[in-house]
Amino acid sequence: MATATAQFSRSRSTYAALRLSVLQFLADPQWLVPSMIAPVIFALVSFELFRGAGPYFLTYAILGAGMMSMWGQTLYGSGWATGQDREFGTLEPTIQSPTPYLYVVLGRVLWNVISGLIGGLIVYVVIVAVAGGPPAVPDPLAFALLFVFVMVTLASVGVVFAAFYVYTRYAGFIQNIGEFAFYIGTGCMFPVVLLPFYTNPISLVFPPTWGLDALRYLSIPGYHGFGWGFWGDLLGAIATTLAYLGLAGAVFHRVELHVLEEGNLSEY
Amino acid sequence: MTESTLALETRGITRVFESRKGFLFREVTRTEALAGIDLTVDRGAIFGLLGPNGAGKTTLVKILSTLLLPTKGTALILGHDVVKESEWLRPRIGLVLGGERGLYNRISGRENLRYFADLYGVPLSERERRITEVIDRVDMAWAADRRVEEYSRGMKQKLHIARGILHRPEVLFLDEPTIGLDPKSARETRKLVRSLVADGVTIFLTTHYMFEAEELCPEIAIISKGRVVARDTVGKLRELVGGDRTLEAEAYGFDDREVEALHHLPGVSKIVSEEFGPVSRLTLRVRTEETRPEHLRALLPNHPELSVRERRTSLEDVYLDLVEEEAH
């Protein structure tokens, strides 16, 4: 029976994890609520919240509701899936496989980005339908591309969060504490510059802060965020995203070693 | 480089677990799960590891399958270090931990296997054929496309085994593979284990079932409190605990003089006394053929209710004797 040893492939493992996420999503009707129904509710609330707030209120409403429906799914979805691996007892066989766990997480992140974008699209459609027309965006193509990139910035933080779920079974508890602060601190609902100035350095540590500010520069004429303009924000977003992905690579290796030392992979 | 003839070799494997409690004042408790395990297993063999709950069996299996780091000592699988060369080893070893957990319940058994085939790098061109092959091998073709959440415990166990052999490992670790299985499924699993060995796979098996170890494993180690208390063939282990034959005498109580008299019978190496309510049982390990049931009856004339049985010393007797000795 023993034959030439199989070799794992990073891209195949990542695709396998993405495929598994889709299968689990389709197999479980509870996901319809956060992914399909919640964006509709967020869109309606956001529309009412920003109505009358200047000429670009539609853009603010779309960004606010869009981020609200996407950020949780994209940012925490991957971490939560790792928490589920602990609960199901599948973390042990997955870690024991030749594939480094980082590639499994990347596959899940990809799915979360896709499902986050579907949520964003639902928000857009609902607000356009309620408002009777689309918002005036100077460059719709650039907006759409940047929107996808903001998802990637969220996902990069999500990968680092996933490492905590491998590290400890208490990651969910830590996440719940930080969830709201992160949501406000990265400017998901309103620009970070509206927050007290001493919170800004903390906000700037996170890639989505830069990405969202760049998105507002692009879509709202006359917007003045941190003051370093669209390109400054875009460069900041790219740099911090790369830093997070690099950090994730280093952290995952260390975390995998730590859990093998602790022997807590089957705890949940 | 000459290829090692050993599938597995451990030297002084020790594992200490630390558990912490308290928030401000952390209290750390250290538990030594393994206390210097030395073992060797030849390639292509089935090796059985027996031990009571908490003896360290699963801890050892996890260390050998690269899921846990030892605190001290070294372990080589196929001549490669489980700590330093885990990347090389992982595609070559299989692990079956079993139980209700460890599977994705909302998807089918076949999809579970497909996912792990990808993680293990089973060649894409062979993937579906291999999945069908292992499903057939564990006799699960009829349920392979049903969701795992609909499976019984035994079916999940079979799926665990299918996953463990999917990538054709050279060394397979089976941690209590028949626990929770009905007798028919357990027998089929043992048959499967034998067929894997026939295919050249080295099996490292832990079990609670003595007959299973006796049936499958030419060589056995008994582990208690993190130490190997004995390691040999079943026959030699019988000798180690005092003989191939066991005589059991049951009556309403024996006095010390009677027990002492039995000790002087030829070949009697050990007598264990147990109480079952009003009934006392003396279990004698006997090395020779000279002492027979009638000799016991002759020495115990004051017990009209006396019943004497003769049987072969079982692995369970060996196990209980050795584990009890270690406990005292």
Cα distance between residue A39 and residue A70, in whole Å: 8
Query: In which band, very low, low, confident or very high, does the pLDDT at A120 lie, cut at 50, 70 and 90?
Result: confident
User: Quick one: which of A243, A242, A252, A246 has its CA closest to A102?
Assistant: A252
Question: What are the chain B neighbours of A28 within 8 Å (beta carbons)?
Answer: 106
- B190 lies in the same domain as B247: no
Q: Phi, psi at residue A82, to the nearest 5°?
A: -65, -40
Residue A15: how many other CB atoms lie within 10 Å: 16
User: pLDDT per residue over A14-69, tens digit each?
Assistant: 999 999 999 988 888 777 777 788 888 888 888 888 887 777 778 878 877 777 77
User: Quick one: which of A158, A159, A207, A160 has its CA closest to A187?
Assistant: A207
pLDDT above 60 (res A256): yes
- Strand-pair category, B219-224 with B46-50: parallel
Beta-carbon contacts of A61 under 8 Å, excluding residues fewer than 6 positions away, are: A43, A46, A47, A49, A50, A51, A127
- B22 lies in the same domain as B76: yes
- Final residue belonging to a domain, choices B237, B256, B275: B237
Query: In which band, very low, low, confident or very high, does the pLDDT at A192 lie, cut at 50, 70 and 90?
Result: confident
- Final residue belonging to a domain, choices B207, B237, B267: B237
- B89 lies in the same domain as B185: yes
Q: What local confidence, expressed as pLDDT, does residue A220 receive?
A: 83
To the nearest whole angstrom, how far is the Cα of A150 from the nearest Cα of chain B? 29
- Strand-pair category, B307-312 with B245-251: antiparallel
Cα distance between residue A115 and residue A205, in whole Å: 25
**Chain centroid to CA A107:** 13
| Cβ pair B151, B143 in contact under 8 A | yes
- Amino acid letter, residue A90: T
The total number of residues shown for chain B amounts to 328
pLDDT above 70 (res A147): yes
Please report the number of interchain residue pairs, chain A to chain B, with beta-carbon separation below 8 angstroms: 112
Positions in chain B whose pLDDT score sits under 50:
1
Q: What local confidence, expressed as pLDDT, does residue A2 receive?
A: 47
In the 8-state DSSP scheme, what is residue A55?
Answer: T
To the nearest whole angstrom, how far is the Cα of B287 from the nearest Cα of chain A? 42
Q: What local confidence, expressed as pLDDT, does residue A19 receive?
A: 95
Q: How many domains does chain B have?
A: 2
- Strand-pair category, B219-224 with B202-207: unpaired
The verdict on residue B326 lying in a domain is no
- The two three-digit tokens of residue B151, written as one number: 């499976």
- Final residue belonging to a domain, choices B179, B214, B237: B237
The verdict on residue B306 lying in a domain is yes
Q: Kindly determine whether residue B201 and residue A8, on different chains, have CB atoms separated by under 8 Å.
A: no
Residue A132: how many other CB atoms lie within 10 Å: 6
The verdict on residue B78 lying in a domain is yes
| Cβ pair A248, A102 in contact under 8 A | yes
- The two three-digit tokens of residue B235, written as one number: 């026959």
- The two three-digit tokens of residue A112, written as one number: 């979360």
Q: Kindly determine whether residue A261 and residue B69, on different chains, have CB atoms separated by under 8 Å.
A: yes
- B297 lies in the same domain as B174: no
Cα distance between residue B265 and residue B12, in whole Å: 41
CA atoms within 13 A on the CB side of A56: 15
- B230 lies in the same domain as B298: no
Which pTM value belongs to this model? 0.83
To the nearest whole angstrom, how far is the Cα of A240 from the nearest Cα of chain B? 30
- B133 lies in the same domain as B160: yes
| Cβ pair B77, B7 in contact under 8 A | yes
Q: What local confidence, expressed as pLDDT, does residue B286 receive?
A: 84
- B298 lies in the same domain as B224: no
Q: Kindly determine whether residue A27 and residue B106, on different chains, have CB atoms separated by under 8 Å.
A: yes
The verdict on residue B284 lying in a domain is yes
User: Quick one: which of B287, B294, B289, B290 has its CA closest to B309?
Assistant: B294
- B125 lies in the same domain as B230: yes
Beta-carbon contacts of A210 under 8 Å, excluding residues fewer than 6 positions away, are: A153, A204, A233, A234, A236, A237, A240
- B250 lies in the same domain as B227: no
The verdict on residue B323 lying in a domain is no
Cα distance between residue B227 and residue B55, in whole Å: 8
Query: In which band, very low, low, confident or very high, does the pLDDT at A189 lie, cut at 50, 70 and 90?
Result: low
Q: What local confidence, expressed as pLDDT, does residue A86 receive?
A: 84
- The two three-digit tokens of residue B8, written as one number: 């597995």
Q: What local confidence, expressed as pLDDT, does residue B170 receive?
A: 94
Q: Kindly determine whether residue A23 and residue B196, on different chains, have CB atoms separated by under 8 Å.
A: no
Question: What are the chain A neighbours of B196 within 8 Å (beta carbons)?
Answer: 1
Q: What is the CATH number of the domain that holds B63?
A: 3.40.50.300
Domain span at residue B98 reads: 6-237
In the 8-state DSSP scheme, what is residue A34?
Answer: I
Residue at token pair 């195949």: A12
The verdict on residue B34 lying in a domain is yes
Question: What are the chain A neighbours of B147 within 8 Å (beta carbons)?
Answer: 27
- Is pLDDT larger for residue A3 or for residue B98? B98
Q: Which residues 161-190 of B have a C-beta within 8 angstroms of A? A: 163, 165, 167-170
The verdict on residue B1 lying in a domain is no
ipTM exceeding the 0.90 mark: no
**β-pair partners for B171:** B93, B202
The residue in chain B having the minimum alpha-carbon distance to the alpha carbon of residue A91 is B102
- Alpha helix segments (H runs only) across chain B: 57-64, 86-89, 109-119, 124-137, 153-165, 183-198, 210-216, 234-240, 256-263, 293-299, 315-327
The verdict on residue B208 lying in a domain is yes
Cα distance between residue A237 and residue A224, in whole Å: 17
- B155 lies in the same domain as B247: no
Most A CBs within 10 A among B16, B67, B163, hence the mutation to make, goes to B67
- B228 lies in the same domain as B289: no
Residue at token pair 């599977």: B103
- Is pLDDT larger for residue A131 or for residue B24? A131
Q: Kindly determine whether residue B196 and residue A1, on different chains, have CB atoms separated by under 8 Å.
A: yes
Beta-carbon contacts of B304 under 8 Å, excluding residues fewer than 6 positions away, are: none
Q: Which residues 247-306 of B have a C-beta within 8 angstroms of A? A: none
Q: Kindly determine whether residue B65 and residue A88, on different chains, have CB atoms separated by under 8 Å.
A: no
To the nearest whole angstrom, how far is the Cα of B17 from the nearest Cα of chain A? 7
B65–chain A Cβ distance below 8 A for any pair: yes
Q: What local confidence, expressed as pLDDT, does residue B66 receive?
A: 94
Q: What is the CATH number of the domain that holds B286?
A: 3.30.70.260
Q: What local confidence, expressed as pLDDT, does residue B2 receive?
A: 54
- B260 lies in the same domain as B152: no
Residue at token pair 């350095």: A201
